[in-house]
Every structure is written in structure tokens, then in C-alpha cells.
Amino acid sequence: MFGYIKPYEDELKVKQIKLYRSLYCGLCRSAGKHISLFSRFFLSYDYTFFAAVRMIFEKTEYTTESARCGFHLFAKKKVISDNGALGLSSAIFSVLTYYKLVDNIKDDGLVKSLFSRLLLPFASHMRKKALKQGFRDVDMIISDCMERTALLEKNGGSVYDLSETFGDMMGYLLKLGLADEAKEDAYTVGFEVGRFIYCADAADDLEKDEKSHSFNPYLNEYGSSDEALTALRKGRNSIARGTDTAADILMRRKSELPASLFDMCEIALNILYLGCPSVLDGILCKDKDCDKCKRH
Amino acid sequence: MKTPYEILGVSPTATDDEIKSAYRALAKKYHPDTNGGSEYAAEKMREINAAYDKIQDMRSGKSSGGNYYGGNASYGDTNAYERMKSTARDYLNAGNVLGALSLLQSIPEGYRDAEWHYIMGHVYLRLNNNARASREFGMAHSMDPSNEEYRTAYESISSRSQGYTEYTGGNDTSFIPLGCSCCDPCSCLCCCSSLYDCLRCCF
């Protein structure tokens, strides 16, 4: 479910790559401070994107500081200082990790879910810390989505229903607490990105789910992973279009941003216009010798 | 954009009792008394109330576009379904997107031909759901490949904007064309300068 929202680094400026990494470091520190030290192991770059977009919609004038990294003890890193967007992103990945583990335990057998069972107590603690921080709405939004997804999967729901459910969750999370004028745009960005994540994850897991006879909405629709991949390659544009829509919204908002957020906006635009389609192409390519797809 | 039926989690052909029951269950879950201060619960409550009111209005014929066909799906008459599709087109033209959607969804699966998928594609376009619109136009085109209208609609929605290949990191005047770097003139000058200094030293 993670690792599909990343930039196309070849087209980023060096200063933007550094800013992106400092945002990740800032998110890691925020999670360590507000949730738990252990929560940092669950962090992925997808949440960095979420934090960046939140900062764009909130028009956060962020600051940076120099800090020592827990994972790179001898290096001092430039990190973005703690702020509301980082706090929210930390809470989201903590609660989402908990519910994903619960979902894995429910779906998989005892042996397969052993790793998830071992991690569950830590994730449960993370969720409790997030709730204590006042993020009850985050918990409600995510648990609603998980409930609806489980019901849809049980009834053989289509990829449209499932991806829109996940998109709906991301939309609500992204617009939480924003000013009214930003809510609709924030929801649309979250919705399209959430849809993309779900579709990309389902496409990526096609062969694995076919072997293990696990639920996959594309397998349900097309019967086999080969048929599904052929259809997805033809319909690639309809999956990629969503991230274009989200990018267009951010592009419109760019002119309203303070200059300090331009680079942050460029990073988000790069991810949506270039990074996500590149990831999708890599998933659909499946040719390990391909030199065009950045994924291989 | 979600339809009122999707918000309540019911089918458009659900009975009034089923809709009321779904509404009550959701209202109990998101009621402000049980979720004091929750922004999400308050928003869901507003959505649910608006969805329930909209369905009530549609079913009592108060909303624009008039009659509600949902629940009367047992026509068993092909002509009736043709009339329903025609009425759905009229609803769409009049701006009653949800009425058109409700009408189309009440036509049984076995009677959903290419035209049905085509009109459905337009409904989803109006609901800003391009993914589903693309699928419906695709279905219409594959069911009736000779129809120009369906083919045009499918090709139009399938052609992607050039955003991916043309976006090169923003409207930045310092973008460098391939094979050249803005540093090249400076580094060239530096090299020349160093070479000149070297040559001066030698001679």
C-alpha cells in the first residue's frame, strides 16, 4: 500500500531534493517526539508527500533546523521544524499502520500473519498516542474506510468502489481542519492520490495475489493477472489521469503561495505529474531488463 | 462526487424502509451527541441528512425532472427501458444528473446495452468521475464499435493531456535544454582563463 508516491528525482533541482529529504527527516523527528521512537520504523515517503501538500494548503511558513539523526549518528541533518502538518502526518501513519496490521491479521493465516501479530502491540501503542494527541477524527476516518473496504472485498466489490473508498479516506484526512476555501480542493487532491495508491497497489500485487489466491479486484474483474495487465496497459491513462487532476489543482494554487513554499509546491507537482505515472509505468512494464522505466 | 444512495450505502432500487433504516443507522453512528466536537462526524451528519432529504424529494417527485422510476424495475418491457434511457438523456440535458443516474441504475443488468453505457459515461463525466466515465465509454464502444458517437467519446476521454511528457519541473526560466548546461559557459570561461594563466606561466 506504500511506496507509490515518490518524486521523479531526475527532474528535481538539487535544492528541492534536499528540501524533500529534510521534510522526511522532519516528519521522522515529529513522529519520534509525538508518537513513539518505534513509530519511525513505519515511516515511508508517501507521508512526506502528504505533509508537503498539507503545508501547501495551510500555507505554512516552515523553518529548518540542524539536528542529529537517530539512524545516522555521525551526521547532522537539516530538518524541517515540527509543525501542524508534520504532526497530522505522524498521527495518520501511526493509525493507518495499526489498522493495516489488524487487517493483515484478519485476512492471513496464523503463520503468515505472525510478523503482523508481533508488531501489533507497538502499533496499538502508536495509535493510542495519536488519540491522546487529539486525533480522534483521524482514527474515525481510517476505521470507517477499513470497515467499508472489508465489506466491499467480502462482497466482491469493483476496483472503482474500492479505490474510491480509499480515495475518500485520503480526501477527508487531507482536508481535516483546513479553512473552508481550501477544503474542496484538498479533498479532490487526497481523493485522486488515494485512488491512485489503491489501483497501483492492486496492479502491483496481481501476480502475488494470483499465486496465493488472495483477493484482488483486478483478478476478480479480468480472471488472470495476464489479462488484467493487458487491460491495465490499455487503460493506463485513466489511472494516471487522477494524479494529473490533483496536480492541476496545486498548479492553480501555486500563485497564491508565499515564495517560501514554491519549492515545496514544485516537489508535489513533480510527484504528481512525473513520479506517479513513472511508478505506474514501472508496475505495468514487468520487464526487468527495461531501461525506460525508472523502477527497474 | 457521491450520489445520495452511495452516501447512505443503499442501492437506488432500495425500498423506502431500507433507506430509512440505513439513514437511522448512520445517524446513530455520526450523531453529534456521541461524537462531541468531531469535525468529521459533523460533516458526515450533514452529508447524510442532505442525502436522505434529496432521496425523499426525488421519490416524492419534488426535485427537478419529476418522476422517480427506481423501485419499478420490473417493467419486463424493452420499450419501457428505451423510454427510460430517453428520459435519462432528457434529465441530463436539464441538469438533473442524479435523476438520470437513478433511472439508469434501475434498468436491469440484462438490458444495459451500448447506449446505456454511453449515457452512463456522460453521467459520470458530470459527476467529475473520469475513471468511471472512461470505463463506461469504453464499454459502449466495445459493444457497438461502428457507432461514431461512442468511439469519439471514448477516444476523447482516453487521450491524455501532455502533462507527463511536457512537465519539466515548473515554469522556471532556468530550465536547461538537453545537451547543455547553464554552467557550461562559466566553466568554459574558467577553463579558458586557467589555460591562459598556464600558457602565460610557460611563456
Task: Read off the CATH number of the domain in which B49 is found.
Answer: 1.10.287.110
The answer to whether the CB atoms of B131 and A195 lie below 8 A apart is yes
Same domain as B97, residue B150: yes
For residue A177, give the nearest of B39, B159, B168 by CB distance: B39
Poorest-confidence range of A142-151, B9-18, B48-57, B146-155? B9-18
The answer to whether the CB atoms of A237 and B35 lie below 8 A apart is no
- Residue ranges and CATH numbers for the domains of chain A are 9-285 (1.10.600)
Same domain as B151, residue B90: yes
- Domain CATH for B128: 1.25.40.10
Same domain as B152, residue B98: yes
In a domain, B142, yes or no: yes
Same domain as B87, residue B38: no
Q: Is the pLDDT of residue A240 over 70?
A: yes
CA distances from residue B19 to A142, A227, B64 in whole angstroms, order as listed: 25, 38, 21
Question: Which of B161, B165, B182 should we substitute to test contact with A (largest number of A Cβ atoms within 10 Å)?
Answer: B161
Same domain as B138, residue B91: yes
* Structural domain boundaries, residue B18: 4-59
Poorest-confidence range of A12-21, B105-114, B115-124? B105-114
With b meaning 16 or more CB within 10 Å and e meaning fewer, what string describes B44-74? bbebbeebbebbbebbeeebebeebbbeebe
Helix (H/G/I), strand (E/B), else coil: A66:
strand
For residue A9, the number of C-alpha atoms closer than 13 Å in the C-beta half-sphere is 10
Same domain as B122, residue B82: yes
Structural domains of chain B, count: 2
User: Cβ–Cβ contacts within 10 Å for residue B187, how many?
Assistant: 10
The pLDDT tens digits for A248-286 are 999 999 999 999 999 999 999 999 999 999 999 989 886
- For A15, the enclosing helix (H) or strand (E) is helix A14-34
- For B52, the enclosing helix (H) or strand (E) is helix B39-59
Provide the shortest C-alpha distance from residue B200 to chain A (in Å).
37
| Residue that wins the pLDDT comparison between A116 and A75 | A116
In a domain, B20, yes or no: yes
Same domain as B87, residue B32: no
Same domain as B87, residue B29: no
Same domain as B89, residue B148: yes
Question: Can you name the residues that pair with B169 across neighbouring β-strands?
Answer: none
The confidence band for B1, taking pLDDT boundaries of 50, 70 and 90, is low
Q: Are B121 and B143 in contact (CB under 8 A)?
A: no
In a domain, B9, yes or no: yes
Contacting A with CB below 8 Å, chain B residues are: 2, 9, 35, 38-41, 43, 130-132, 134-135, 138, 157-161, 163-164, 167-170
Q: Is the pLDDT of residue A54 over 90?
A: yes
Residue-level pLDDT at B20 = 94
In a domain, B143, yes or no: yes
For residue A172, give the nearest of B2, B40, B157 by CB distance: B40
Residue-level pLDDT at A91 = 93
Mean pLDDT estimate for chain B: 74
Mean pLDDT estimate for chain A: 89
Q: Is A147 on the interface with B (CB under 8 A)?
A: no
Give the chain B residue nearest A247 (alpha carbons).
Answer: B163
Same domain as B95, residue B55: no
Residue-level pLDDT at B202 = 46
Same domain as B86, residue B48: no
| Residue that wins the pLDDT comparison between B85 and B174 | B85
Helix (H/G/I), strand (E/B), else coil: A65:
strand
The pLDDT tens digits for A90-142 are 999 999 999 999 988 888 777 778 888 988 999 999 999 999 999 999 999 99
Looking at residues A171-181, what average pLDDT do you find? Answer: 94
Residue-level pLDDT at B6 = 85
Q: What percent of chain A has pLDDT over 90?
A: 59
In a domain, B123, yes or no: yes
Nearest one of B121, B88, B114, B117 to B103, comparing CA atoms: B88
Residue-level pLDDT at B158 = 73
Residue-level pLDDT at B167 = 57
